[in-house]
């Protein structure tokens, strides 16, 4: 696992803890959860396994999660928070990533706001790749 992917895995673990805490505070949020893989997880796993090499680097992270989506799942709060963080990079002395932001918003609309599982899987990987790049940018200050 590359260092960037390890950073993603660590951040995901933190955000998963935040989501779990929110669900424990709101038991109704976890109602209906089953142990079977969701259709989104199956589509995401298929997309990762048939995608390019950069997606394969993320496979370990998603395999740990049973291929359940991070950004495009039942709650899109994490995706929204990431977009807000990307919008404020200039405030932290980092370059504004206008093209990346535009791509994320298009992917969000195409994937998250639709029932198209392939588009959701593509949006999921686009968010994860952008997050890895953002983490590297924050870490290096460039």
Whether 90 is in a domain gets the answer yes
pLDDT beyond 70 at 113: yes
Whether 31 is in a domain gets the answer no
Whether 14 is in a domain gets the answer yes
Number of domains in the chain: 1
In the structure encoding, which two tokens stand for residue 72, read together? 């495009």
Backbone angles phi, psi at 95, to 5 degrees: -65, 145
Whether 102 is in a domain gets the answer yes
Contacts of 110 (CB under 8 A, 6+ apart): 116, 119, 122, 123
Question: Minimal CA–CA distance to 57: which of 141, 139, 133, 140?
Answer: 133
For residue 72, give its domain range. 3-24+36-140
Mean pLDDT of the chain: 75
Most confident of 17-31, 48-62, 81-95: 81-95
pLDDT at position 114: 77
Whether 62 is in a domain gets the answer yes
42-67 pLDDT per residue, tens: 888 888 877 766 666 788 889 898 99
Whether 29 is in a domain gets the answer no
pLDDT at position 128: 92
pTM, to two decimals: 0.69
């Amino acid at each position: 696992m590359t260092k960037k992917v390890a950073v993603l895995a660590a951040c995901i673990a933190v955000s998963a803890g935040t989501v779990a805490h929110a669900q424990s505070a709101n038991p109704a949020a976890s109602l209906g959860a089953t142990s079977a893989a969701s259709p989104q997880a199956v589509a995401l796993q298929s997309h990762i396994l048939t995608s390019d090499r950069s997606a394969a680097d993320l496979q370990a992270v998603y395999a740990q999660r049973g291929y359940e989506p991070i950004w495009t799942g039942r709650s899109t709060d994490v995706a929204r928070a990431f977009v807000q963080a990307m919008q404020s990079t200039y405030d932290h002395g980092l370059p504004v990533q206008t093209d990346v932001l535009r791509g994320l918003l298009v992917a969000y609309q195409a994937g998250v706001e639709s029932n198209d599982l392939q588009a959701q899987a593509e949006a999921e990987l686009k968010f994860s790749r952008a997050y890895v790049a953002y983490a590297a940018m924050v870490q290096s200050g460039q």
